[in-house]
């Protein structure tokens, strides 16, 4: 599997610098002539002199994501002129008739990649397209933009039908297709593209360094065990960095990747299709996922929330490491005080877990949420007190204030979930957001003199427990 860096630096001289900077993380270089300021034979020769042995040359049309508007005659003339020995592949568009370029490429022993870029979804009859290109002795490349779990499924079905074609490239752009970039083997791709750190060459590209250091792309093979995290959105999650670091430290041939999911039922099919051994669950799927599982631990039934799923001999099993992960930082600091009053801000899946955890620990819980009805419903289910959001909260009456809502996270970093509440400075404030590390809410609490616990502590504590579950099924035979 090749790690191919797309040269995107503004200046051509800087592109050469970027090759040198990324050499330890790449196996191939893609020269996008539409991204070059002055494309000429001297520049191509300079790239060939310092690049890895595999070099791809292309000139992307604007309708395929290119950035230079030139006539088709000019574009094809430049490609033909710059083809030279040392180039491994020439990337030409599907349907393009360019006999002079094709003849020259074959004479020089340069293989032809025949590509189709679909920015509107997944092309219909994608498997037929792959078959047709391969039958003509060229390498099929499909770069599509799945926008839902259903379109991801369509893409994977096409990949499955063309599994016998060894040389092909199938990549998903955008958030739903991100997993194909960091685990291209799951789509049977011979390579993946990454950025040189300057700017992305296509939607969803990450840097060559991140691709290697976080996702250990060069170590992935047919025996790699895959885990992941599902959510919507999900690419902001730091869980891949945490779990992949631990997999590497333990010497496990396993990789943890993010899956953008808008339909949990469809994802369960995808997970089985890809051989995913386990996954974390984040918003908004912690409750919906339960109905998709074969077994769950008692806490999942009690709380009504699941954040960890593993594949066992008996089927899909769901657990909840959030409640222990939430409580552990409080226990560690001897900060749990049975009988004390706690205010929980929010009424989603995370809040549900927190309310149950605090109730089990013996605290008296009050719920407030921007939508009163949700808070009232959760309070009724859990035995907590409900407080209307429009009514002022009494200052100093809570020992612990827990912020569980997404207010403060991107793109809502300017939102304070409880602007009318005045901290008196004696409260212990526990905000479960970890990106960004500081929010308007936590900074306001700290400025008032409150002790603040950040979301990273819970993130790490629950991840430790998740990792134990993931490790327990690492040696399970995949179906």
Active site residues: 286
- CA 130 to chain CA mean position, Å: 26
Torsion of CA 197, 201, 206, 209, to 10 degrees: -40
Please spell the DSSP secondary structure of 186-251, one letter per residue: GGT-SEEEEE-SSS-SSTT--BHHHHHHTT-GGG--TT-EEEEEEESS-TT--HHHHHHHHHHHTT
306 Cβ contact partners less than 8 Å away, ≥ 6 residues apart: 281, 286, 287, 289, 290, 293, 296, 300, 318, 319, 320
Please spell the DSSP secondary structure of 129-180, one letter per residue: HHHHHHHTTSEEEEEE---SHHHHHHHHHHHHHTTT--S-EEEE-TTTTHHH
For the beta carbon of residue 455, count every other beta carbon within 10 angstroms: 24
For the beta carbon of residue 334, count every other beta carbon within 10 angstroms: 7
- C-alpha Rg value of the chain to the nearest Å: 26
**CB of 139 closer than 8 Å to CB of 165:** no
For the beta carbon of residue 74, count every other beta carbon within 10 angstroms: 11
Peptide bond into 287 cis (omega under 30): no
**CB of 190 closer than 8 Å to CB of 159:** no
| N-term to C-term CA, the chain | 24
């Amino acid at each position: 599997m090749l790690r191919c860096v797309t040269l995107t630096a503004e200046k051509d001289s800087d592109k050469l610098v970027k090759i040198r900077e990324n050499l330890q993380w790449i196996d191939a270089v893609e020269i996008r002539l539409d991204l070059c300021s002055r494309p000429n034979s001297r520049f191509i020769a300079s790239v060939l002199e310092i690049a890895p042995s595999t070099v791809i040359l292309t000139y992307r049309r604007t309708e395929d994501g290119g950035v230079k508007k030139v006539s088709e005659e000019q574009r094809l003339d430049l490609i033909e002129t710059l083809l030279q020995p040392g180039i491994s592949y020439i990337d030409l568009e599907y349907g393009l008739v360019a006999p002079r370029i094709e003849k020259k490429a074959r004479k020089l022993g340069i293989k032809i990649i025949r590509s189709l870029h679909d920015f509107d979804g997944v092309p219909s009859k994608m498997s037929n397209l792959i078959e047709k290109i391969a039958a003509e002795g060229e390498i099929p490349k499909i770069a599509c933009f799945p926008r839902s779990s259903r379109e991801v499924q369509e893409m994977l079905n096409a990949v499955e039908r063309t599994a016998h074609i060894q040389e092909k490239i199938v990549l998903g752009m955008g958030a739903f297709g991100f997993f194909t970039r960091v685990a291209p083997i799951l789509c049977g791709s011979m390579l993946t593209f990454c950025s040189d750190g300057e700017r992305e060459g296509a939607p969803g590209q990450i840097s060559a360094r991140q691709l290697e250091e976080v996702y250990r792309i060069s170590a992935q093979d047919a025996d790699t065990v895959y885990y992941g995290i599902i959510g919507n959105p999900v690419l902001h999650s730091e869980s891949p960095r945490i779990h992949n670091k631990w997999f590497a430290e333990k010497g496990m041939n396993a990789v943890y990747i993010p899956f953008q999911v808008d339909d949990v039922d469809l994802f369960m099919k995808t997970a089985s299709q890809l051989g995913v051994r386990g996954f974390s669950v984040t918003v908004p799927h912690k409750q919906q996922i339960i109905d998709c599982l074969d077994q769950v631990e008692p806490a999942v039934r009690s709380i009504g929330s699941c954040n960890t799923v593993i594949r066992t001999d008996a089927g899909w099993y769901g657990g909840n490491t959030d409640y222990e992960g939430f409580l552990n930082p409080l226990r560690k600091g001897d900060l749990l005080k049975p009988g004390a009053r706690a205010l929980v801000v929010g009424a989603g899946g995370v809040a549900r877990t927190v309310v149950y955890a605090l109730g089990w620990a013996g605290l008296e819980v009050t719920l407030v949420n921007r939508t009163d009805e949700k808070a009232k419903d959760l309070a009724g289910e859990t035995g907590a007190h409900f407080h209307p959001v429009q009514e002022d909260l009494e200052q100093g009456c809570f020992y612990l204030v827990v912020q569980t809502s997404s207010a403060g996270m991107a793109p809502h970093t300017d939102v304070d979930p409880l602007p009318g509440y005045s901290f008196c400075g004696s409260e212990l404030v526990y905000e479960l957001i970890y990106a960004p590390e500081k929010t308007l809410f936590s900074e306001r609490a700290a400025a008032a003199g409150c002790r603040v616990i950040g979301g990273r502590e819970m993130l790490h504590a629950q991840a430790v427990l998740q990792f134990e579950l993931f490790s327990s099924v690492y040696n399970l035979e995949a179906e």
